[in-house]
Amino acid sequence: MSQHTAIAELIDAIGDAHVLHGDSDRARYEIDQTKVYEGRTLAVARPANTQEVSSVMRIAHRHGIAVVPVGGNTGLSGGTWMGDNGDSLGLSLERLNRIRAIKADARVAIVEAGVILQTLHTATAEHDLVFPLFFGARGSCTLGGNLSTNAGGSNVVRYGNTRSLCLGLEVVLPDGRILDILSELHKDNTGYALKDLFVGAEGTLGVITAACVKLYPKPADYHTAFLGFDNLTDALALLNTMQRATGGAVEAFEYMTPNYFEALAKVKPELTQPVAQPYPVNVLMEVAEGASDGNNAPRLATVFEDTLGDALESGALCDAVIAQSEGQRTELWAMREAAYEVSQHRRPFINCDICLPLDSIETYLDDMATTLPQVAPGAEANTVSHLGDGNLHYVIWLDRTENPEDPEHKDRIMQAVEQRVSEFGGSFSAEHGIGVTKLPSMKRLKDPVALDVMAHIKSALDPKRIMNPGKVLPD
Ligand SMILES: Cc1cc2nc3c(=O)[nH]c(=O)nc-3n(C[C@H](O)[C@H](O)[C@H](O)COP(=O)(O)OP(=O)(O)OC[C@H]3O[C@@H](n4cnc5c(N)ncnc54)[C@H](O)[C@@H]3O)c2cc1C
């Protein structure tokens, strides 16, 4: 009865057209892009603005209905899973899609949660500015989802992750109150850093409705190259050399193992591979030319080419293919950004999104080359990595004959991977969050005191436990 009353109240608050309760209307929100997490909702609410989000939350709070925020549904950890019972309310932010302001002189943008990342890129480019968060899902993920997962992507080596790009937030709390900490300030020491609680909380503490984000001068040009090395030590040494030579202008340093290219040739045969034979270590490196100062002569082109030339001459670098046009640059990035399709093309697979200290990565991968066959006979590992920030997507294609769909088998493999990560001082979740996928890892590996503090924060903000229940915190 209470659910029917709640739906009627929601319709009163935001209009019949925006409370989707028919099976076919709800369906597209009930499954995420991975197609792994399919659930059932009571209804999906599509409020148009912050006040309407507040009304929706007040109603859900009064009736004790669980609410699952949904952005672009591109998350990779099951954070938008609605559960099986059909008693949760999906809350789509897609109609909060206004860029409220781009303040070019202050280099900030005030953006609503449902704005698609690529839309923000297009809008900022008109001001010769850039919001430097880039990854393959940018055409469908939303700023609210980016903030809630503290997304990383390819440019963290220069600009940090989404948390570093955010100055302030507007959040609707589980009881419907609006928390206005939409600061545009780079310095604001007025008490606890509340914004940072909601960034990366995966919708478990409140609903982000808008954010103030930092913008940067749009680079005048990019210098992009595909590089082949014998080993990771040489690759990471070149990253440091290039950072020194360019004053820290390396924007991306992305690593792919040789078997990535075998898979790529099957998945995207239309993409031309930059070298006939991949190297043991393959890297896509990008350096950004400073913003245009009216003088079109590129300042870093020579530095970039000379640094690569020196490395080739010394033998530390085996091969370099420099993009000669924007078209060639786009092709190189298309090759790297096919990682999602490449990892999925062989099922079943396990995607471990891990982070390691840069100087431990090579030893860790060597170590895993011995450990993996012991826990997963016949499996094959494939690594695609935001190497510049230590984040590896360590994908394991399982042997189909080894009972691969057994969840306990998968969990044993995950445990082995993550146990070694932890011994090397790394993290079992770098940028994809916890959602439901990594709840067992949280239970096993997260510091118990940290878990206790998180549980208290959750209870303080959401005593009725209606915000995205069952995610992030193990029971
Ligand atoms: C091809 C591909 C490439 C990818 N590459 C990367 C990558 O390089 N780096 C990276 O970090 N991620 C990557 N991802 C993962 C994903 O795109 C990001 O996690 C993205 O930030 C999710 O945004 P979204 O709008 O789709 O969020 P959703 O999937 O809709 O939601 C993600 C989580 O945030 C919560 N949420 C969403 N909106 C709000 C809100 N307004 N308020 C509160 N909670 C909210 C949801 O409840 C859920 O827990 C990739 C995914 C794909 C499919």
User: Which atom of ligand 1 is nearest to 147's Cα?
Assistant: 21
Tokens of 360: 């431990």
Task: Judge contact between 100 and 159, C-beta under 8 A.
Answer: no
Q: For residue 432, give both structure tokens.
A: 């994809």
Q: Is 155 in the pocket of ligand 1 (CB under 6 A)?
A: no
pLDDT score recorded for residue 297: 57
Half-sphere exposure (CA, 13 Å, Cβ side) for 431? 25
Which secondary structure element, helix H or strand E, spans residue 67, and what is its range?
strand 67-70
Provide the token pair at 466. 């209606």
Question: Does the domain at residues 221-339 carry the CATH identifier 3.30.450.20?
Answer: no
CATH number among 2.60.40.4070, 3.40.50.1580, 3.30.465.10, 1.20.1630.10, domain 99-217: 3.30.465.10
> CATH 3.30.465.10 spans which residues of the chain?
99-217
Ligand 1 atom closest to Cα of 32?
29
Question: Which ligand 1 atom sits nearest the alpha carbon of residue 93?
Answer: 41
Residues forming CATH 3.30.70.2740 domain(s) in the chain: 346-432
- Residues of each domain in the chain carrying CATH 3.30.70.2190: 221-339
Which residues have C-beta within 8 Å of that of residue 66, sequence separation ≥ 6? 60, 83, 87, 88, 89, 465, 466, 467, 468, 469
* Ranges under pLDDT 50 in the chain: none
Residue 354: CB within 6 Å of ligand 1? Answer: no
DSSP-H helix ranges across 397-447: 407-423, 439-445
Mutate to test the pocket of ligand 1, among 44, 135, 340 (most ligand atoms within 8 A of CB): 135
CB of 208 closer than 6 angstroms to any ligand 1 atom: yes
pTM value?
A: 0.97
Centroid of ligand 1 to alpha carbon of 433 (angstroms): 9
To test the pocket of ligand 1, the residue of 36, 70, 118 to mutate (highest count of ligand atoms within 8 Å of its CB) is 70
What topology does CATH give the domain 346-432?
Answer: Alpha-Beta Plaits (3.30.70)
